Every structure is written in structure tokens, then in C-alpha cells.
Amino acid sequence: MPANRSHIPTPEIARRWPHLEVIADELLPLTDCEVGLLIGYNCVKALTPRDVIVPSVDGPYGQRTDLGWSVIGIVENDCSTEWDEDPIGISHRIVACDVPTELCRSEVSRPDHVVFSLRNKIKEVINPEEVVRMLEVDFSENSTSSKHISYEDRKFLDAIEKGIHKLDGHYEMPLPFREAMPYLSNNRDMALQRLQHLRNRFAKDAQYCEHYISFMRELILKGFAERVPEKEINVDSGQAWFIPHHGVYHPQKPGKLRVVFDCSAKYMGQSLNDHLLQGPDMMNMLVGVLCRFRKEPVAFVCDIEQMFHQFKVNVEHRNYLRFLWWADGNFSKDPTTYRMTVQLFGAVSSPGCANFGLRQAATDGEL
């Protein structure tokens, strides 16, 4: 909204331009009042040009809408205005009708009207909560409860909170789908083709083959993956998905291979990650971690081995985590259908699920 009243077109402005004199009497004189309404582009009928007076050379032009005539362009009521001090398009009045959270905690303390007005040269809305946040940002640690989370993050948290439970000493939780149990096309052929490429690499790289087979053998022995029962393999309900996989070496741990499941692999235009919610960021802020190290005389730090694999997936969702592998690592035979029983590396939801489970374990074990 223009705060400089010299930018508002008046009959005197129109008379300065020969081509606009015909509409001078159609314009309202400058009155002593505040601008109270800004018409947006969503109100098309009010802004639709009904007639236009085009300048012959340069200057503003006249435009008639259903609201009447107006002058469009750079105009000044006061020729003495210093352009460097108040150029057109920079002078604004920013008004935010934003009620701070602390004023909304009870009906008794809620005011009838709150306006936070600031004359500024920057096009941004500033409200009281933002001012407080900026003042405290240096040493504030945003907890999950204080962050403004999105609708999808709330949906993620609701799904995990309702579905998480403990089984055999481990937390088990559902996959946080965007919708309930999505219907997916049978992509076994795509996964089989990727497995053939993996077999070709095994034939060329004996060390890579040995490390890969060792990793998969340990994955199955620890119960992180299981063989799909024969009676369930050919059930084409649409609620199953095959995930291709490949091995990567850690740059700081040569010789240590990790198998990553490609949940972003697409088939018929969709992937498993397309149907999973990522969840909110639940990582602790570094400033908070450092401050807590100074708070008490003794500090503890630990590293959770294979953290994602410590949190199981509900049985009814495990068929979305199918993959193909050779039993006993014998890739001269036909592949067998397996499925993951835990959160896996490669799923967009795994970091959020693991962090939620870790916080749940801390809450449940709190003394």
C-alpha cells in the first residue's frame, strides 16, 4: 500500500498530461484518509481494463475499470519530493495483523484487535513473534515441539505415534505412507534387470563380490531381512514392491561395504519414496549439544551401530520392502525373494523413523 500520498493520482496530475485531461474530472480529489483496502489479482472483475488512454510518446496512461478511472505510471503530486530519499516502489507501509501466541492462550487475555505497523524500505512483514525469535536466535535450540511443522510432518508424527510399539526388545513401527497402503504396479522385472547388472559386476570384481555377499549374509542372519514365504510370493495385491540395491564403500573406511536400497528407483512413473513421508527434522542443534557438555561434570557419547536396522517395520508393510537375492550368495542360481524387516538405508522416511524411535526409547527409559 503506498505510504507516500504524492504517488496517488489526482485531477491535477491528469491535467499535466494533454492526453489525460479528458479524465481529470473523473478522478477523485486527494482526501485526508488512510488506504484501507488492497485489491488483489484474484479479484479479476474489479481490475479488468474497460478502456485505456495510451500516451503518444511517454508518460503515464489512463485506465478505466468498474471502479472508475485511474492513472497508471510514475506520478508525483509534489514536484519537490527528493527521489533519492523516497523513490517510487520502495516507500511502503507494512501492516501485519498477527496476534502473538502468548496473547491467544486464553479467551480472557485475547484482544479484540492487534496491529503491528512499521514504516520501512523493505518489502517484508514483521510480527512480534519474529522479532523475539531474531533476538534469541544466537543461543536457542529449537525442539520438535516448538517448531512450526507442516501438515505432512504432522501426518508423519501421527502415524508413527499411533503405530509404534515394542517387540522383542526393539521398537516396531509402520511405514509412514502419504496415503493408506498404496497400490503399486508389479516391478519385479525392473528389480531383476538391476540384479543382472549386479551379477555382471560380481564377475568382474571378486573383492566387491565377496564384500557384498558377506554383507547380505549378515543382514539375513541377524534377522534384518527374511525370505518371503512361498504362499505369499505370487499374491499380486498391488501392496508389494521390489527394491533394487547396490553396494557403496565408505570413503573413510576402505574395504567396508554397505548395501543401499534404491527406494527412489521408478517403475511406471512412481517409486517407493514417492509414497513415503520424510517427517520433521528431529536432529539436536549443535549449539544445544555443546552447551549440555558444559552443564554437568560428566558427559556421555555413543554411536549406535546400524541405527536404522535397530527399528523394525510392521509386518503388514514389509512386502513393500521386497528385494531379490541369491540364497547362500550363489549367483549362479535363480534369485530368491526376500524382504526387509527393519528400516533400511535408502528410504526417505528412515532417518525420521529412527530419530523418533531413539527419542521414544529415551522417554520410555527416563528415570
pLDDT, one tens digit for every residue, the chain (367 residues): 555 667 778 888 888 888 888 988 888 888 877 777 778 778 888 888 899 998 877 778 899 998 889 888 876 555 444 444 454 454 445 555 555 555 555 444 455 555 444 444 444 444 555 555 555 544 444 444 445 678 889 999 999 999 999 988 889 999 999 988 888 889 999 999 999 999 999 999 999 999 999 999 999 999 999 999 988 887 667 789 999 999 998 777 778 898 999 999 999 999 999 999 998 888 778 888 888 888 888 888 888 888 899 999 999 999 999 999 998 888 888 999 999 999 998 899 999 999 999 999 988 887 6
Same-domain check for residues 266 and 292 = yes
What is the C-alpha separation between 363 and 79, in angstroms, rounded? 69
Same-domain check for residues 57 and 130 = no
Cβ atoms of 176 and 277 closer than 8 Å: yes
- Three-state DSSP class for residue 117: strand
Same-domain check for residues 81 and 102 = no
Position 116 in a domain: yes
- Three-state DSSP class for residue 144: coil
Position 145 in a domain: no
Model confidence, pTM: 0.58
Cβ atoms of 325 and 228 closer than 8 Å: no
Same-domain check for residues 201 and 62 = no
Residue 15 CB partners (closer than 8 Å, separation 6+): 21, 24
Same-domain check for residues 131 and 264 = no
What is the C-alpha separation between 42 and 27, in angstroms, rounded? 24
Count of domains observed in the chain: 3
Same-domain check for residues 190 and 338 = yes
pLDDT at position 362: 86
- Three-state DSSP class for residue 260: strand
Same-domain check for residues 183 and 201 = yes
Helices (H), the chain: 11-15, 44-47, 128-136, 151-163, 188-204, 206-221, 230-233, 286-295, 350-364
Position 253 in a domain: yes
Same-domain check for residues 133 and 230 = no
DSSP one-letter string for 288-353: HHHHHHHHSS-------TTGGGGSEE-GGGGGGGEEEE-GGG-TTS--EEEEESB--TT-TTHHHH
Same-domain check for residues 130 and 231 = no
pLDDT at position 223: 93
Report the DSSP pairing between strands 312-313 and 170-173.
Answer: parallel
Report the DSSP pairing between strands 312-313 and 253-261.
Answer: unpaired
What is the CATH number for 221?
A: 3.10.10.10
pLDDT at position 292: 83
| Domain boundaries, position 33 | 1-90
Same-domain check for residues 207 and 280 = yes
Q: In degrees rounded to 5, what are phi and psi of residue 68?
A: 120, -170
Grid coordinates standing for 157? 508424527
pLDDT at position 129: 59
